[in-house]
């Protein structure tokens, strides 16, 4: 499987993501020619080499009327000088600009989709209808180029799956057209809802609304890098200098045919809860997106019979799982273990029987193939026809 992994250890901005993706394609210069050939008025896109903390990468320089523009008023990745753009646009203006560019239907659909995420965030933050929102920071031509450019590169790379790391946002305050705002800025924070984020130690805005929207739109998962064979690495640079290299990295590679991933095992010992209370806690952990929850009978000090509660989860879900364990159990301590998980690939098909449709789960990999009918379908048919589950299975096997 072809995987694109995006590492956001210094946040994300549209120009940084576009630069990092550009380094993954065979001929970056052809992409620069192609995006310049869109004939967006008074613009020129230049790919420049940039070095941060000894690491060499690419910086995408968007020039409008011969001058480098600022992607957003509140964007730490660019210069300290604040350029207040008077080219405020509404969502329909952005859609018209993108729709009239000589692009594929897929790129146009994706670019508009990214802007829709930003529009929804601005609508929520300012308490206005989407159609009435003015894009002060992201409605400028350079931001349109960043969004369109990233969508063009995603189409060219055509990964089977896109995985994004937890995103560093920065902290503190940032100046914008509306005044001084907290970091992450309200629009970016809204877009990043349900996405794993952390502030880090850098003061200022690391993740812009455009960067957040691009990641949210394209990501299939947010988690640490899976086990994969790397084929190529891209490095997109910001402008400002920090103690940490101000870059966004992209990795394109392949996962093995056999499925593996990294999971957290969280566990705790409990000797003062009833079976009913533990059952309730287990259900709540599954609601918090645990991969699996199970209990084991153990003995604790003073010869007390007890339960070992174990919970498997993705690292991105770890914090909310820990919160749920503390909230729904009596434990005052949780242990963590990082595990490699080997899984079979899964497909589902539906088989039509005289009693009704039954879903069949098919699993394969590591030289084996297994199939199993869904219990809920078997139980429903057995109950409806007053027969046993084994009888329904036998009818299924006779087909």
Percent helix, strand and coil across the chain, each to the nearest 5: 35, 35, 35
| Residues 133 and 202 reside in one and the same domain | yes
The average confidence (pLDDT) of the chain is: 87
DSSP 155-177: HHH--SEEEE--EE--BSEEEET
Last residue of a domain, one of 226, 254, 282: 254
pLDDT tens track for 99-150: 999 999 999 999 999 999 988 988 888 787 877 776 654 447 788 899 999 9
* Amino acid 83: pLDDT: 36
Instruction: Tell me the backbone φ, ψ of residue 146, rounded to 5 degrees.
Output: -60, -45
How far, in Å, CA of 200 to CA of 276, rounded? 41
Residues 278 and 241 placed together within one structural domain of the fold? no
291/384 same-domain check: no
> Rounded to an integer, what distance in angstroms lies between the CA atom of residue 144 and that of residue 94?
8
- Of the candidates 47, 127, 136, which has an alpha carbon nearest to the alpha carbon of residue 90? 136
For residue 227, how many other CB atoms are within 10 A of its CB?
A: 14
- Tokens standing for residue 234: 């891209």
377 and 319 belong to one structural domain: no
Do residue 12 and residue 90 come from a single domain?
A: yes
Domain count of the chain? 3
Does 178 have pLDDT greater than 90? no
Report helix angle 141-157 to 14-22, nearest 10: 30
Q: How far is the C-alpha of 177 from the C-alpha of 83, rounded, in Å?
A: 10
* Domain assignment of residue 200, given as a range: 2-254
Bridge partners (DSSP) of residue 261 are 341
> Which of 254, 271, 298 is the C-terminal boundary of a domain?
254
> Do 83 and 178 fall into the same domain?
yes
Q: Which one, of 212, 128, 129, 139, lies nearest residue 170 by Cα?
A: 212
Q: Is the pLDDT of residue 70 over 90?
A: no
Sheet strand arrangement including 292-300: 292-300, 304-313, 259-270, 335-343
Query: Is 33 exposed, middle or buried, given 0-12, 13-18 or 19+ CB atoms closer than 10 A?
Result: exposed
**Is residue 328 within 8 Å of residue 266, measured between CB atoms?**
no
Per the model's pLDDT, the better-predicted residue between 96 and 78 turns out to be: 96
Q: How many helices (H) and strands (E) does the chain have?
A: 11, 19
Both 177 and 69 in a single domain?
yes
Average pLDDT over residues 144-167: 95
């Amino acid at each position: 499987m072809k995987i694109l992994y995006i590492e956001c250890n210094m946040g994300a901005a549209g120009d940084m993501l576009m630069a990092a993706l550009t380094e993954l394609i065979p001929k970056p210069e052809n992409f620069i020619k192609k995006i310049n050939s869109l004939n967006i008025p008074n613009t020129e896109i230049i790919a420049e080499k940039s070095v941060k903390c000894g690491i060499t990468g690419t910086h995408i320089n968007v020039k409008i009327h011969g001058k480098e523009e600022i992607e957003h008023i509140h964007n730490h990745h660019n210069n300290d000088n604040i350029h207040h753009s008077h080219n405020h646009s509404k969502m329909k203006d952005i859609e018209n600009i993108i729709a009239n560019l000589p692009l594929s239907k897929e790129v146009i659909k994706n670019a508009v989709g990214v802007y829709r995420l930003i529009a929804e965030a601005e609508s929520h933050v300012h308490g206005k209808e989407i159609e009435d929102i003015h894009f002060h920071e992201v409605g400028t031509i350079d931001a349109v180029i960043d969004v369109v450019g990233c969508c063009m590169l995603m189409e060219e790379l055509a990964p089977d799956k896109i995985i994004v790391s937890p995103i560093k946002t920065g902290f503190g305050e940032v100046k914008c057209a509306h005044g001084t705002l907290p970091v992450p800025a309200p629009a970016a924070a809204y877009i990043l809802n349900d996405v794993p984020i952390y502030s880090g130690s850098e003061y200022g805005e690391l993740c812009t609304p455009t960067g957040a929207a691009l990641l949210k739109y394209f990501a299939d998962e947010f988690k640490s890098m899976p086990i994969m064979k790397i084929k190529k690495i891209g490095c997109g640079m910001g402008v400002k200098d920090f103690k940490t290299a101000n870059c966004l990295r992209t990795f394109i590679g392949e996962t093995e045919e056999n499925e593996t991933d990294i999971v957290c095992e969280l566990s705790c010992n409990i000797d003062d809860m009833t079976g009913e209370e533990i059952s309730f806690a287990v259900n709540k952990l599954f609601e918090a997106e645990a991969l699996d929850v199970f209990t084991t009978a153990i003995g604790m000090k003073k010869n007390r019979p007890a339960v070992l509660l174990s919970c498997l989860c993705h690292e991105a879900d770890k914090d909310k799982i820990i919160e749920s364990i503390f909230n729904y159990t009596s434990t005052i301590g949780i242990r963590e273990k990082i595990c490699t998980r080997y899984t079979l690939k899964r497909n589902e098909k539906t088989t039509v029987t005289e009693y009704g449709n039954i879903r069949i789960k098919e699993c394969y990999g590591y030289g084996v193939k297994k199939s199993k009918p869904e219990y809920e379908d078997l139980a429903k048919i057995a109950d409806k026809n007053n027969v046993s589950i084994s009888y329904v299975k036998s009818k299924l096997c006779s087909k």
